[in-house]
Amino acid sequence: MSKRRVAYYYDPDVGAYSYGVTHAMKPQRMRITHELVSAYDMLPKMHVLRAKRASAEKMTRFHTDEYVDFLSKVTPENARRLTYQGTRFLVGDDNPPFEGVFEFCSISAGGSIAAANRLMDGHADIAINWAGGLHHAKKREASGFCYINDIVLGILEMLRYVPRVLYIDIDCHHGDGVEEAFYTTDRVMTCSIHKFGEFFPGTGQLSDRGRGKGRGYAVNIPLKDGITDESYRSVFEPVIDKIVEVFRPSAIVLQCGADSLSGDKLGGLNLTMHGHAHCVQYVRSKNIPFMLVGGGGYTVKNVARAWTYETACALNIENDIDLNLPWNEYFEWFGPRYRLEVLPSNLEDYNLKDGSLDKVREEALRHLSELRPAPSVQMQDVPRESLGDHLGLGGVHAHAPIDDLDERLAQHARFVYDLQKDSDRSDSEAEDAPEDDPESERNAHTRRTSRRVQQQQKRMSIVTSKYFDVPRLPPEFERDVDEDPCGVYANAGAHGRKRRFFQSVAEWDPVKRHVLERERAGVVAGMGMGMGILGANGFDARYMRVPVRDAGSEERESMDVDPDGDEDEE
């Protein structure tokens, strides 16, 4: 195989964050990996880059605004309050609100987005972001040590340029977050090879194949404890071959979670470093642009070994490096065997014991054979930056200074556009709605609360692989917390339809003890009425009152949101 252009993304700050002293996830493993890659003198053979950190706006391409805003504000001290007593966003022992969590997520997501862009621009054949691979994160909650799903963000970036993307997950845990994100589309095929059973996240059985247009485009290979290199290869190669033949991907994302290695603290498989790296070598042999990201892996020294060797595989120099470790800053960590290797254990391979592996492979290949050939994608222009960004109407970053008249006018134009869009939707929805009635509004609120209670209230811990109950919302918070964090607006109809804004401009008035909608994006006082900033009911939307629970200002501190970065002027 010829050498290919490799882009390597690394941010030296990523190893400075900590989930906690006793927590299994150690971001320092990325720093140790980088030191080992550097010690093997691989850096001069790659384009070493430091990605621009992902903004909150880019994160909201997949995650909800409320969740991203929460991550940008949460600290260990205010987490209990911002999660409404632990009932939202699934922050807890598995996913602690550590100091700098948002910055950590921005590094991970920024690396994967930049890697995807570099591949799509044709400046690299392989892009590596070992800080990425956080595949459990959901649209509106954290899961399995993952807060922001950088993989989904990277794939969404690729889909701007290519018709089809293949995602392969060799982590010990099912890649549920990525599968869930693309479960109903035929433009992304997800293939996860993982341990299944009473094991986190409890999903990914063979029959989970997608839904709607995405039926057949989710491939799950459930495994049992103790699978060896040979057994793993016997299922990986034919399945990937068939997927590439049928799906014909334009790009591949390979998640290299190292918890499938032998001896991992949370895994149960028995792969060696070479068996794990064979997946990288095999995907590389397809000569399709692909992105390598990290993932799980909780025996830190083995994670560093595997990712270093897989970096060498990307460079096609794996046969040229010395397996005796060179001196590096973390050399003592790799004792007592100071070698670039992860050896198998004597764990029994239960996949061969009952013949389940052959059944899984045959069933997966049969499903792929029934799949129609590569889906066509309508020809269209490659989307560039959004028109709003091009015209200066893009989102405003928190705390960004607004001292230019053109920027203020752009913000005002966007605000008027949002109001008109919401007004049109509210008017169309209200045509068939009955007159507002207190009793019907109470019934609507009861139905919403009932649906919320009926939603899934159990989650599985990645550490214990045991289900636990997510705390239900205390009764005193139920009216305040619904789909909209600002509560029920004053113009909500009988069915609870509410005015919505893409970004909140609510302000808590501790004296009057209610919420006001203040001026948007630094628009000077008086401009709004002069330019027709009116709500759906004809009143000035900047001063829309919102009924909330009568409590102290400290209870509603989270309402004081200023996404546009403006400072109020009294």
Indicate which residue of 34, 63, 135, 136 is catalytic.
136
Q: Is the peptide bond before 344 cis (omega within 30 degrees of 0)?
A: no
Tokens of 389: 């960004």
Task: Give the C-alpha distances (Å, rounded to integers) separating 418 from 65, 69, 423, 524.
Answer: 15, 19, 8, 18
Q: What is the torsional sign of CA 168, 462, 342, 48?
A: positive
CB-count exposure of residue 413 (10 Å: 0-12, 13-18, 19+): middle
Upstream peptide bond of 201 is cis (omega within 30 degrees of 0): yes
The DSSP annotation for 81-97 comes to HHTTTTTSTT-SSSS--
Which ranges of 431-541 does DSSP label H, i.e. alpha helix?
438-454, 527-530
- Alpha carbon 424 to its chain's center: 32
d(CA 50, CA 53): 9
Q: Which of 75, 90, 74, 137 is nearest to 109 (CA)?
A: 137
Would you call 136 a catalytic residue per the annotation? yes
The DSSP line for 123-185 is S-SEEEETT---TT--SSS-BTTBSS-HHHHHHHHHTTT-S-EEEEE-SSS--HHHHHHTTT-
Identity of residue 506: A
* Residues 21, 272: Cα–Cα separation, whole Å: 28
CB atoms within 10 A of CB 72: 16
Measure the CA–CA gap between 262 and 435, rounded to whole angstroms: 65
Q: Please give the Cα distance from 119 to 230 (Å, whole number).
A: 32
**What letter would DSSP give residue 545?**
-
CA distances for 504 relative to 62, 319, 424, 460, 521, angstroms: 18, 56, 19, 32, 11
Residues 139/178, Cβ–Cβ less than 8 Å: no
Environment class of 121 (CB within 10 Å of its CB; exposed 0-12, middle 13-18, buried 19+): exposed
As given in the structure block, the two tokens for residue 271 are 């792969």
Alpha-carbon distance 109 to 71, whole Å? 13
Q: Is the CB of residue 263 less than 8 Å from the CB of residue 299?
A: yes
| Rg of the chain over all Cα atoms, to the nearest angstrom | 25
324 by DSSP, 3-state: which? strand
- Catalytic residue numbers, as ranges: 136
